[in-house]
Structures are given as C-alpha cells and as structure tokens.
Structure 1
Amino acid sequence: MRETTPLSRFLSEFSSNRTAAIAAVVVLLIVAIAILAPLVAPQDPYDLANLVLRDARRPPGYVGTQGYVHWLGTDSQGRDLLSAIIYGLRISLEMGVIAGGIAFLIGAFVGTSAAYVGGRFESLIMRIIDLQLSFPAILLAFVIAAMLGQGRYQLIMALIFAQYAYFARTAHGAASAERQKDYVEAALSVPLSHTRVVLKHILPNSLPPLIVVGTVQVASAISLEATLSFLGVGLPPTEPSLGMLIANGFQYLLSGRYWISIYPGIALILFIVSLNLVGDQIRDQLNPRLRR
C-alpha cells in the first residue's frame, strides 16, 4: 500500500473542500498575474508616454488612439483600467507580503520572548500588546500613515505597526503552552543555550497558529492599504494601487462612469475573500477543534 506523506494528506484534505480549492486557484492565479504584470498587462501605467488624456474616462470596449481595445475602459488619467488593476494587484500583494512578513517576524519574536522570559518582562510586554489590540487596526494605521506621509515605505511601516500585535499575542499563547512542556525542561537541563531552545524547540512548535494568522493578516494588510490609499494617506496618486483606483473613480460614480471604481473594487474583494477562505481552511486543518 502506498504510503502518504503529511504534505500529500494536507493537500488531499484541502482539495476535498471545493470552496477552499477554488479560492486557492483564484489566489494562485492572481499572484501569477501580479508577478507577471509587465508581460500580461496591455499597457504600462507608469509610462507617461502611453497616457493620452483624450482617452480618459472611456467606457469598456473603447478603442484608444493607440489602436488597442480598453476592455475595462480607462480611468481619469487615461490609463487602461485592466492594466492598472493588474499592476494594482501587484502593489497590493507586495504591500501585504512585505508588511505581513515583517510583522510576523517582529510579533513572533516579541511574543515568544515574553513567554520564555516570563515575570515582569512578560507582564509589561503583554500589557502593551493588549493596549494596542484595544484600538482598531485601521485607526492605528491611519494615524501612523498620516504622521509619516505618503509613500511605499511609510505605508509599510504603518501596516507593520498596526499588525505585529496580532502575531505577538498568538505567538505568546502558543509559546506559553510549549514553555511548560517536559521537552523544554529537558533541553534546559542539558544545558542548551536559551537562544537555541527558543529557535529550535519552542518557536517551530508555535508556527501552526502563526501561519493561520499570517494568511489572515496578509488579506488584512491588503485591505488596510486600499483603505488608507482611498482616504488619501497611503500611496501617492501616481501609484495605481487598487485603493487609489477606487478613490480616483469615486467622484465619477454619479455621472455614470461606474467602471473606474467598480472593477478595481471587484478585484480587491475577490482577492481578499479568496485569501480569507484559504486561511480558514488552513486553520481548520491545523486545528480541527476550531471547525464549525
């Protein structure tokens, strides 16, 4: 009888959920399109030479002055909306992965260190984390972004500050449970260095819940980026992020030019919902007790 590996069992169970499997395909497709944006996008929205103002706010199917069809229409700057959405997905993915990854590392370090050291240090760190979690993430990100100004790096810093506490709280809970187990006490009695015990024993066993939180927080970072850009404190107007595309077309909704905001909004919702469905399925498989 053919022996199955943990990875094959995980993928088999994942694919048995049709909704999660479809969501995973959507996520992979969007990620592939975002990475290959320069190759698949009909137009480079960064190239000012390709922008023609008389082609601005044209409806879907319009044939532009450069001879190709704008399948989703054009935005207020004359950019091909399909190309702008593809590059916007690329920017959103970049913001979500970078901010979520750095927040993951910081939060895992802070939460694991607090659980391992214990005592007053743990109490102080976790009270700070609890205080931060009492505020909505969008409020913290908005305040930090408004203080730092517009720009990619400033926005990444705001997203990291707004999200690292979620990872820290999760890492602290998982590491606290691992810290009390016998194998950790045995490792300390050898004795092994504290750094090795944390990195080799406690942290690897605390990763499953952090991975689940990571998938959710990447989607949250993408949503936060779009919200902040829509509010005018995220990326500058020259960046074709999904939030900025929605903001640029919002003022034209009442005039009937719905496509400038609606199509980027559909792409954003599809990406976030698919990420959340994938994260829910991973959570259910890593911790069956949480299944509904």
Structure 2
Amino acid sequence: MAVAETTRRQRLSEFWSDFAQSRVAVVALAVILVLLFLAFACEWVAPQDPYDLRNLDWLDAFLPPGTVGSGGYVHVLGTDNVGRDMLSAVLYGLRTSFIIGLSAGALALTAGIAVGLTAAYFGGRLEAVLMRVVDLQLSMPAILMALVLVALLGSGVGQIVLALVVAQYAYFARTTHGAATVERRKDYIEAARSTPLPTYRVLFRHLLPNVMPPLIVVATVQVAAAIALEATLSFLGVGLPLTEPSLGSLISNGFRYIHTDRTWLSLYPGFALMITVVAINLVGDQVRTVLDPRQGL
C-alpha cells in the first residue's frame, strides 16, 4: 500500500510538472477554480438572490452598471428588465451551468464507459449492435438530439441533464471502445481472462485504468460542450425558463435589447459563458498534451 501510494504521488507530481509548463493552461485552471468558487458560493457572494421575487423592485429595472439601487448597494453590472442585479444573476446562472455540465459529463462518462467496455471485451454480435447504435448517434448533431429530447422530456435541470447524457455518451463510448479494443489484445488482459477472476474485476481493475487517459481528455471537452449546449437550449427558449438561473436565458432575455443602449443585459452573461468554455477547453488541450505528448507535435 505504501509503495502504491508513493507511486501515485510521483505520477501526480510528474503530471502537474508537465501540466505547469503551459502558463496559459495554469491561468485557465486558476480561472476555472475562481469561477467554481464564486458560482457555488453565490448565496454568500452575490448581493441578492435574483430569483426571489421578494428581493426585486421594478423601480430598479434597467439600471446601468455602477448605479446604486433601492437596496442601497451598487449594481456593479447593472440590472435587467425586472430589476434583478446582473452580477447576482450571472453568478447564479454560472452555478446552474456548472451543475448541469459536471453532472451530464459524469453520467455520460459512466454510460459511455459501460457501453464501450462491454462492446470491446465481449465482441461478436453484441459489439456490432452496440457500436452501430453509437455510430448512428454520432452521425447526428448533438444539439439536434438535445432539442428533440428536451421537447419530449420538458424543461428543468434534471430533464436537461438527461437529454445531454443521451446526446453525449456516444463520444465516451466510441473513445472507450477504441482504446479498450487495443488493450484487450495485450498479454496482460489475456492472462487475466485465463484466471478465475470475475469479469467485472478484469474490466474495472485491469482494462479500465488503461483506457482512462483519453477519456479524461474527452471529459473536459464534453463538460464544456454540455455547458454551451445548455446555454443554447435556454437561449432558444426550450431549456430553463426565465424564472430559473441560466446564462442562456439571461443572454436570450438581453438579446431583445441588443439594438438599444442596454447592451450589458446580454454582454456580461455572454462573457461569463465564453470565459468558462474557453478556460475548460484550454485546460483540456494541455491535459491531452501531457497524457499524449505526440498530440503536441
């Protein structure tokens, strides 16, 4: 146990050393951590709860950034058409985006691993059927599938997460299947299969750890994609309603005033969405370079 723990620490140290060679990735990681803190501490950081009607005053509607409202505090990013503090709304919306993105990414990863490992390990007709379903799904745009599923399931955080899981698990399944197919032919897997070990131990103790590196890279990309997809659905009016925190619904609400001098209504939530997605993608690019140095050539 001590040797294994020491080896694990050494690997983590080496990974961080290689990751830190990119200052851009380190800054992006710091931005993500700050955004995560602000998002999940929004109840204490935000000036108000913008989705509690008791905190809203219609007289504070359309206040420009830097204006002092009736609540006695400065609206740093201004207010929207119903008097919501935009800074508070952005932080609450950012929390929803992280919850949906991380939940959808984790569940899609789990489902994709289950499908990909099963297909690669057992092979035969089962592999053919599972991977044809995955290939068929990959041929369809994720946003189109998400739109159809949300229309069928209805709006809400749980429904959107489920729709995104169904729309995204195929990316993990295809990656898992490709990596597991290569590993399955190696001697250590053949040796493990020849022993009385139960199938689940061969899958999760021997095969899965060796296919995780590419899945980690795909996970970072898909979390960013899930956040962007949720914002797109809410912007189109089929995601979360205006009464629930969402960067997409904030951008959609502000878009109606894009040709006026109230550009802050969509500018700030759009900027928050862009910074979040770009930062996650930058971290994912560096993780890919560290785990597979040939990608950086």
TM above 0.5: yes
Distance in structure 2 (CA, Å) of the matches to 1:99 and 1:13: 29
**Structure 1: gaps (5+ residues):** none
Distance in structure 1 (CA, Å) of the matches to 2:292 and 2:16: 15
Over residues 196-240 of structure 1, what are the superposed CA-to-partner deviations in whole Å (9 max), with x where a residue is unaligned? 110111111111111110011000000000000000111121112
Q: How does 1:132-147 map to 2 (within 5 A)?
A: 132-147=137-152
Distance in structure 2 (CA, Å) of the matches to 1:28 and 1:257: 30
What SS is found at the alignment partner of 1:254? coil
2:30 is matched with which residue?
Answer: 25
Over residues 112-150 of structure 1, what are the superposed CA-to-partner deviations in whole Å (9 max), with x where a residue is unaligned? 100001011101111110010001111111111111111
1:66 is matched with which residue?
Answer: 71
2:95 is matched with which residue?
Answer: 90
Distance in structure 2 (CA, Å) of the matches to 1:202 and 1:35: 35
2:127 is matched with which residue?
Answer: 122
* 1:10 shift after superposition: 1.3
User: Which 10-residue stretch deviates more, 186-195 or 108-117?
Assistant: 186-195
Distance in structure 2 (CA, Å) of the matches to 1:6 and 1:164: 28
Query: Which amino acid letter does the alignment assign opposite residue 200 of structure 1?
Result: R
Q: How does 1:49-64 map to 2 (within 5 A)?
A: 49-64=54-69
Q: Give the alignment partner of residue 80 of structure 1, picking from 76, 82, 85.
A: 85
* 1:291 shift after superposition: 1.1
Tell me whether 1:171 sits opposite 2:184 in the alignment.
no
Query: Which amino acid letter does the alignment assign opposite residue 174 of structure 2?
Result: R
Over the aligned positions, Cα root-mean-square deviation in angstroms equals 1.2
What SS is found at the alignment partner of 2:191? helix
Distance in structure 2 (CA, Å) of the matches to 1:145 and 1:45: 25
Tell me whether 1:234 sits opposite 2:239 in the alignment.
yes
Tell me whether 1:181 sits opposite 2:177 in the alignment.
no
Query: Which amino acid letter does the alignment assign opposite residue 85 of structure 1?
Result: V
TM-score (norm 2): 0.95
Distance in structure 2 (CA, Å) of the matches to 1:70 and 1:101: 36
Query: Which amino acid letter does the alignment assign opposite residue 264 of structure 2?
Result: W
Over residues 230-254 of structure 1, what are the superposed CA-to-partner deviations in whole Å (9 max), with x where a residue is unaligned? 0011112111210010001100111
The alignment covers a number of residue pairs equal to: 290
Tell me whether 1:281 sits opposite 2:290 in the alignment.
no
Query: Which amino acid letter does the alignment assign opposite residue 133 of structure 1?
Result: L
**Structure 2: gaps (5+ residues):** 1-6
Structure 1 runs, 4 residues or longer, greater than 3 Å off: none
Over residues 162-181 of structure 1, what are the superposed CA-to-partner deviations in whole Å (9 max), with x where a residue is unaligned? 10000000110111111111
- The percentage of aligned residue pairs carrying the same residue is 58
